[in-house]
Amino acid sequence: MSMFSKLNQIKELRNQAKAMQKTLSQESEEVTYNGVTLRMDGNQNLTACEIDPELLSRDKKQQLEKNIIKAHEDLIKKIHRVMAKKIKDSGYTLPNLK
């Protein structure tokens, strides 16, 4: 395999990765945990954080922080499932770059 051929494979792989990134940016998942709602796109960018106003009226800073962490953990798991399905359904394959 020539160097030019390998460079073309790398370029194609890069183009596929960009296309997948664009596709994933259009996906969105949301998780609510004990009054904290987080929203994330398929590129794992946190796009929203909403806190139930009732939580703010109580002096429960530590509990609120734990809820945010738990919601974020759940959201990461959820978006990973979406990403895996999109990749599987897209038919993208990695070329053999020996």
Separation between Cα atoms, residue 29 and residue 46, nearest integer Å: 10
This prediction has a pTM of 0.55
Mean pLDDT calculated for residue range 79-98 = 75
CA distances to 6, 23, 29, 32, 49 from 9, rounded to whole Å, are 5, 21, 33, 42, 40
CB-CB contact of 20 with 58 (8 Å) = no
**What would the pLDDT profile of 33-84 be if each residue is shown by its tens digit?**
888 888 888 888 888 888 888 877 655 667 787 788 788 889 888 988 888 8
Residue that wins the pLDDT comparison between 96 and 18: 18
CATH number of 24-90: 3.30.1310.10
Residue 51: in which H helix or E strand, if any? strand 46-51
Domain locations along the chain: 24-90
pLDDT of residue 97: 46
Q: Is the pLDDT of residue 30 over 60?
A: yes
